[in-house]
Amino acid sequence: MNLDEAIKEYKEFLEKIISRPGVKELNSYLEKHGLFKTPASTKYHLCVERGLVIHSVSVCKLALKLKTGLLPDVTDESIILCALFHDAHKVTDGFSHATYLKTKNYNPEKDISYYNKPYDWNKEQMSFSGAQKSLLLVSKFVDLTQDEMQAIAYHDGPYVPSWEDIKYDAYPLTLLIHFSDMWSTWVMEKNKSEVVYDKKFLEDIK
């Protein structure tokens, strides 16, 4: 897969919300700290350079499709904003520390495991909940609505303990972003790497 295409699509989505105050500055900050080199995970989905951009674009596309039928009253701007930046914390912790570091002894010829994975967590970064770290980071630049705040902070859904805080009051936007994130991660991207993108996968994320 031409990974540059992911950056192209990311920038096309970005252009649609660039007039919103703070978005341009947020994007510049993330680019400065490695947005276009960051993987989407340490060893699971898209644990390759630029994996995060591919994932963010994938979530954005799916969320916009679901929005048409499920949440037509929600603006495209809100969908794109939450989808593109729900995982902003994977770039940096907001204090100039990279979230992921390349594993020094990684052997690509062996199966990925806890002891053999392409990337590892940077132990110097701020210790804080990932999704809520994204909220803190995005909020430094962009004034978010109530729905957007919850969608970013709780996009991991019931897979993290913090879901208990809102499990009886999850907003529709939160559920839509969560589903788009999970479907992209575990169906469209699971076990995908730069060397195994196939035709079916590329068709799925168009």
pLDDT in tens, 154-190: 999 998 899 999 999 999 999 999 999 999 998 888 7
Q: Which residue has the higher pLDDT, 186 or 203?
A: 186
Q: What pLDDT score was predicted for residue 191?
A: 57
Domain count, the chain: 1
- Determine what percent of the chain is predicted with pLDDT higher than 90: 67
Q: What pLDDT score was predicted for residue 195?
A: 35
- The strand pairing partners of 92, in sequence order, are 98
Q: Which domain holds residue 138?
A: 4-192
Look up residue 6 and give its two tokens. 């992911």
- Determine what percent of the chain is predicted with pLDDT higher than 70: 91
Q: Is residue 206 part of a domain?
A: no
Q: Is residue 202 part of a domain?
A: no
CB within 8 A of 5, min separation 6: which ones?
none
DSSP state of 165: G
Question: In the chain, how many H helices and how many E strands?
Answer: 8, 2
Q: Which long-range contacts (CB under 8 A, 24 or more apart) does 24-33 make?
A: 25/141, 26/85, 26/88, 26/137, 26/138, 26/140, 26/141, 26/142, 29/141, 30/85, 30/88, 30/91, 30/92, 33/91, 33/92, 33/96, 33/98
Q: Is residue 199 part of a domain?
A: no
- pLDDT tens string 55-77: 999 999 999 999 999 999 999 99
Cα–Cα dist 156/131, whole Å: 7
Q: Is residue 26 part of a domain?
A: yes
Q: What pLDDT score was predicted for residue 57?
A: 96
Q: What pLDDT score was predicted for residue 2?
A: 58
- pLDDT tens string 7-43: 999 999 999 999 999 999 999 999 999 999 999 888 7
Q: Is residue 107 part of a domain?
A: yes
Q: Is residue 205 part of a domain?
A: no
**113 phi, psi to nearest 5 deg:** -150, -175
Q: Is residue 200 part of a domain?
A: no
Cα–Cα dist 130/156, whole Å: 9
Residue that is written with structure tokens 């919103």 in the block: 20
Q: Is residue 19 part of a domain?
A: yes
> pLDDT at residue 153 above 60?
yes
